[in-house]
């Protein structure tokens, strides 16, 4: 039995960053909006308080804030000829659940893409020739340029209270910022985070080598700050419990802190928690989604919520799952290259690092914010010449204190046993003396990396799991190896007592160790319906009242963590909906 | 209060023999409430005594407990840096973890079919962590009997160390899963117990945190990040109980 509810102006699926942003912008435009969130509501005041939030076991290793894999997960195979098996326990990535989504437990590193990342295929073709891009590398341009998106990047940074230092103000290079970034209209809303010893050592070494170090863009407010919504963020306490945790200081830019206080106070918005969306009701002839079906997980009862506008703001995997199970858009076929839903699934190639040990330096790695440290962008994107290198793209590089919370990180020099007396000795000796330099590489789309429906395994609602066909490809492994050498160079320039050999990503994609919760693609945006799922305003080509949010719309992943772009695109899409779509509902781009 | 953990242990120690139904039924929180406030001197004495009082087990059998104690004390032996893992409560931690939600499969996708896959696809067994440890300990003892003629916990220290190396390096043959897989799970949960907040039973007297110099709570370093820049942080560690 399904209970049909009264039609509402707009429904938002998932109340994380994008759901909160869209719900806020649509209610501001006068619409009545329902937010459907599969998880519970948590708040800083109630859930992220001292002492309970300072619990590495509960939050970081017993998955307190993450998607419950007892109910739903995804399966993986490394190639189309393998049998996929379910990821039974989270490891490599950690999607969130509950109000705030993964935006609650992120670390806060908030990038913009480089202008050249926005037009990747055109840029590489122009610089390296029309045959330079391998046939299996299915990269594409973003259908929105850096210049067009700049005001929206800027707005999201103001909403989330980003701390940092501009390196390019209206085309003028600013020393000490990221001189490779695209032109910014404004400085960051907050000054950079407090310096750390690890950052200082990294900065000095990078400068010696002629690189351009800068403090990272952080959604960890360096000062108390009031955002354009009138919400005040507290100042960061450098507690070392950022990623995988909620923030008791209200200093981390999260939906809960930055938007929900005003959204929840607006009676045009209704939040329904424990509302697990099962299906989009698709009218193929009318090219509309007429309603959303969801299950109340407290009672098992099923509801149908009709709505004029549907905002699909779940995590990447559920966005793709809902499109595929609802029959919207043509599923991707890797054999022919035809179809679009599930295409260009990408990730981030992390795990490239060196660790530098300093006998005479106190690092205090437990005192830092999620985005603390000093960053280097000289080897990112196309900031360096790729002629003859055999790969495209690069990595953002970061030097920060290694370890901190001791279940999670206890660096020891290479050759140390994993247990016993020598392990104790080395752990006690080096815990406070290690700096880690990491490089997070881009992940460019590959013809055989994609998402579809698993033929065997099901979720708690009886739907197929998303099946990921994914592996690191030649471009990824070559890029990682190259970046590993850069990291070693920086490490040597730090002149440490001991330097580990570079660890670089190699071999098959492994779901066990944590790598990055930056899964992207599957509902990519693009210039035409043959090669993309949504248009430049994130409107579905096949249903004009359906707007798909989040990193699932990325054609490929630049090396940068996605949230800055996710937030910017959400505001960009919201503006198109409120200024154009509401006046004249229909396709915003004509194919 | 800082002393809460101590009276709880004293109460549980007096509640009955390990593994009895009575002891199992006593949730730690109820036990803590039931215990009258002890004299400060007694608490200090307990906290510093080398032999911590035994704690009743929630799920481990006596034989499993003996294996765990023997194994984790090789992984983290007593020396000048800290007491041994079991002296720090890590066996209690493991018992409680296996008895609780995580041990019984919380956040673990358990729908079949259960197929063998490459290690990069992660855990693929039908067993909950509790069941996995039951099977793993049984297999380790069986291998120990075959190799050394007795259970693992009866081996002299040198042989225990050799035996654990054999498990780690997959030189022992287990039915169903590799000895290395069991060893890695044991090493992981031991480290979790040694370094987690003491509310879970391990890291007793903050021995793990003291060993490395991790200060624990409250971790509000807005001023300290400036004043301790490049300097050793010299505040004694505190845990959740100190703020409860």
Question: pLDDT tens track of chain A, all 591 residues?
Answer: 899 999 999 999 999 999 999 999 999 999 999 999 999 999 888 999 999 999 999 999 999 999 999 999 999 999 999 999 999 999 999 999 999 999 999 999 999 999 999 999 999 999 999 999 999 999 999 999 999 999 999 999 999 999 999 999 999 999 999 999 999 999 999 999 999 999 999 999 999 999 999 999 999 999 999 999 999 999 999 999 999 999 999 999 999 999 999 999 999 999 999 999 999 999 999 999 999 999 999 999 999 999 999 999 999 999 999 999 999 999 999 999 999 999 999 999 999 999 999 999 999 999 999 999 999 999 999 999 999 999 999 999 999 999 999 999 999 999 999 999 999 999 999 999 999 999 999 999 999 999 999 999 999 999 999 999 999 999 999 999 999 999 999 999 999 999 999 999 999 999 999 999 999 999 999 999 999 999 999 999 999 999 999 999 999 999 999 999 999 999 999 999 999 999 999 999 997
Q: Which residues of A touch B117 (CB under 8 A)?
A: 83, 85
**Interface test mutation site (partner A, options B219, B232, B242, max chain A beta carbons within 10 A):** B219
Task: Say whether A155 is catalytic.
Answer: no
* Under 8 Å between Cβ of A296 and A269: no
Residue B185 touches chain A, beta carbons under 8 Å? no
Residue-range domains of chain A with CATH: 2-581 (3.50.50.60)
**Burial track A149-164 (b if 16+ CB lie within 10 A, e otherwise):** bbebbbbbbbbbbbbb
- pLDDT tens by residue, A373-412: 999 999 999 999 999 999 999 999 999 999 999 999 999 9
Do B211 and A410 lie within an 8 Å CB cutoff? no
Residues 286-345 of A with CB under 8 A from B: none
Supply the pLDDT for residue B53: 65
Nearest CA-CA distance, residue A456 and chain B, Å = 8
CA–CA distance, B182 with B68 (Å, rounded to integer): 12
Tokens encoding A381: 């994107």
* Under 8 Å between Cβ of B203 and B209: yes
Residue B114 touches chain A, beta carbons under 8 Å? no
Return the bridge partners of B13, or none. none
- Quickly list DSSP for A553-581: G-SSB-SS-SHHHHHHHHHHHHHHIIIII
* Under 8 Å between Cβ of A547 and A310: yes
CB atoms within 10 A of CB A589: 16
CB pairs under 8 A between A and B: 180
Residue A461 touches chain B, beta carbons under 8 Å? no
Nearest to B207 by CA among A588, A264, A428: A428
Which of A155, A386, A446, A518 is catalytic? The answer is A518
Tokens encoding B242: 């100190």
Q: Exposed, middle or buried by CB within 10 Å (0-12, 13-18, 19+), for B114?
A: middle
Nearest CA-CA distance, residue A508 and chain B, Å = 7
Return the bridge partners of A294, or none. A277, A303
Do A425 and B81 lie within an 8 Å CB cutoff? yes
Residues 186-215 of A with CB under 8 A from B: 194-197
Do A51 and B231 lie within an 8 Å CB cutoff? no
Q: Which residues of A touch B229 (CB under 8 A)?
A: 195-197
Residue A413 touches chain B, beta carbons under 8 Å? no
Tokens encoding A100: 């705030």
Nearest CA-CA distance, residue A441 and chain B, Å = 20
CA–CA distance, B57 with B65 (Å, rounded to integer): 8
Residues 87-126 of A with CB under 8 A from B: 87-91
**Cis before B113? omega within 30:** yes
Q: Which residues of A touch B164 (CB under 8 A)?
A: 419
Residue B93 touches chain A, beta carbons under 8 Å? no
Across the interface, of B115, B212, B231, the residue whose CB is closest to A427 is B212
Q: Which residues of B touch A55 (CB under 8 A)?
A: 196-197, 199, 240
Q: Which residues of B touch A63 (CB under 8 A)?
A: 107
- pLDDT tens by residue, A458-488: 999 999 999 999 999 999 999 999 999 999 9
Q: Which residues of A touch B237 (CB under 8 A)?
A: none
Residue B227 touches chain A, beta carbons under 8 Å? no
Do B229 and A425 lie within an 8 Å CB cutoff? no
Do B240 and A362 lie within an 8 Å CB cutoff? no
Supply the pLDDT for residue B31: 35
Nearest to A19 by CA among A555, A463, A566, A518: A566
ipTM: 0.96
Q: Which residues of A touch B190 (CB under 8 A)?
A: 419
CA–CA distance, B28 with B8 (Å, rounded to integer): 7
Query: Which residues of chain B are modeled with pLDDT < 50?
Result: 1-49
Q: What angle do CA B198, A62, A59 make, to 5 degrees?
A: 75
**Interface test mutation site (partner A, options B97, B99, B109, max chain A beta carbons within 10 A):** B109
Do B120 and A509 lie within an 8 Å CB cutoff? yes
pTM of the model: 0.93
Residue A367 touches chain B, beta carbons under 8 Å? yes
Start-to-end C-alpha separation, chain A:
39
Residue B212 touches chain A, beta carbons under 8 Å? yes
């Amino acid at each position: 039995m399904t209970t049909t509810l009264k039609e509402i102006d707009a429904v938002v699926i998932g109340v994380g960053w994008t759901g909160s942003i869209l719900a806020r912008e649509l209610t501001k435009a006068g619409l009545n909006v329902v937010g459907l969130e599969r998880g519970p509501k948590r708040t800083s005041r109630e859930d992220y308080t001292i002492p309970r939030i300072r619990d590495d076991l509960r939050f970081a290793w017993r998955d307190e804030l993450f998607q419950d894999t007892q109910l739903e997960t995804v399966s993986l195979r490394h190639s189309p000829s393998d049998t996929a098996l379910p990821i039974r326990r989270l490891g490599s990535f950690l999607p969130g659940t509950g109000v705030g989504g993964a935006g609650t437990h992120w670390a806060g590193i908030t990038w913009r893409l480089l202008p050249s990342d926005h037009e990747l295929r055109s840029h590489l073709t122009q610089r390296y020739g029309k045959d330079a891009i391998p046939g299996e590398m299915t990269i594409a341009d973003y259908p929105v340029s850096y210049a067009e998106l700049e005001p929206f990047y800027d707005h999201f940074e103001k909403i989330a209270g980003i701390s940092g230092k501009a390196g390019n103000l209206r085309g003028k290079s600013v020393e000490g910022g990221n001189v490779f970034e695209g032109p910014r209209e404004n400085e960051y809303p907050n000054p950079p985070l407090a310096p750390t010893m690890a950052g200082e050592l990294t900065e000095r070494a990078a400068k010696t080598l002629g690189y351009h170090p800068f403090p990272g863009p952080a959604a960890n407010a360096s000062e108390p700050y009031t955002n354009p919504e009138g919400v005040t963020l507290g100042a960061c306490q450098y507690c070392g419990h950022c990623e995988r945790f909620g923030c008791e200081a209200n200093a981390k830019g999260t939906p809960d802190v930055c938007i929900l206080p005003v959204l929840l106070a607006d009676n045009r918005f209704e939040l329904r928690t424990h509302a697990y969306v099962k299906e989009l009701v698709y009218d193929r002839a009318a090219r509309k989604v007429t309603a959303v079906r969801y299950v109340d997980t407290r009672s098992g009862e099923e509801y149908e919520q009709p709505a004029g506008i549907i905002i699909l703001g779940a995590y990447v995997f559920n966005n793709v799952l809902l499109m595929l199970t609802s029959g919207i858009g043509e599923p991707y076929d890797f054999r022919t290259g035809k179809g679009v839903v599930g295409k260009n699934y990408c990730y981030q190639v992390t795990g490239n690092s060196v660790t530098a040990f300093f006998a005479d330096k106190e690092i205090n790695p437990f005192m830092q914010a999620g985005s603390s440290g000093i960053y280097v962008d000289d080897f990112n994107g196309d900031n360096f010449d790729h002629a003859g290198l055999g790969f495209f793209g690069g990595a953002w590089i970061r030097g920060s204190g290694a370890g901190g919370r001791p279940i999670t990180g206890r660096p020891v020099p290479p050759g140390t046993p994993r247990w016993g007396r020598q392990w104790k000795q080395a752990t006690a000796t080096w815990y406070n003396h290690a700096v880690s330099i990491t490089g997070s590489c881009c992940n460019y789309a590959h013809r055989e990396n994609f998402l579809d429906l698993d033929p065997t395994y099901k979720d708690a609602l009886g739907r197929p799991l998303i099946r990921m066909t994914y592996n690191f490809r030649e471009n990824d492994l070559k890029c990682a190896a190259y970046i590993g050498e850069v990291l070693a160079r920086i490490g040597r320039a730090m002149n440490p007592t001991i330097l580990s050999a570079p660890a670089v990503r190699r071999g098959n994609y492994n779901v066990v160790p944590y790598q990055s919760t930056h899964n992207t693609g599957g509902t990519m945006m693009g210039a035409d319906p043959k090669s993309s799922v949504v248009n430049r305003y994130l409107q579905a080509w096949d249903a004009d009242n359906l707007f798909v949010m989040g990193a699932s719309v990325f054609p490929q992943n630049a090396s940068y963590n996605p949230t800055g772009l996710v937030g910017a695109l959400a505001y960009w899409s919201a503006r198109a909906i409120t200024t154009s779509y509401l006046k004249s509902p229909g396709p915003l781009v004509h194919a | 209060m800082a002393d809460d953990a101590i009276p709880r242990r004293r109460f549980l120690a007096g509640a009955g023999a390990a593994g009895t139904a009575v002891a199992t039924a006593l949730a730690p929180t109820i036990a803590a409430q039931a215990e009258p406030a002890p004299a400060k001197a007694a608490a200090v004495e307990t906290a510093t005594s080398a032999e911590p009082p035994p704690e009743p087990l929630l799920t481990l059998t006596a034989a499993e407990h003996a294996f765990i104690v023997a194994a984790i004390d090789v992984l983290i032996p007593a020396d000048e840096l800290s007491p041994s893992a079991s002296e720090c409560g890590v066996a209690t931690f493991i018992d409680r973890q296996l008895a609780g939600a995580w041990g019984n499969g919380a956040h673990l996708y358990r729908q079949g079919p259960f197929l063998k896959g490459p290690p990069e696809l992660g855990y693929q067994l039908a067993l909950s962590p509790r069941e996995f440890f039951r099977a793993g300990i049984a297999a380790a003892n069986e291998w120990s009997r075959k190799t050394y003629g007795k259970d693992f916990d009866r081996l002299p220290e040198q042989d225990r160390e050799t035996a654990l190396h054999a498990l780690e390096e997959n030189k022992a043959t287990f039915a169903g899963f590799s000895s290395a897989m069991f060893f890695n799970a044991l090493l992981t949960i031991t480290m979790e117990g040694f370094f987690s907040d003491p509310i879970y039973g391990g890291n007793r007297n903050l021995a793990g945190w003291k060993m490395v110099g991790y200060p624990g709570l409250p971790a509000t370093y807005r001023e300290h990040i400036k004043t301790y820049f490049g300097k050793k942080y010299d505040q004694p560690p505190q845990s959740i109980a100190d703020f409860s």
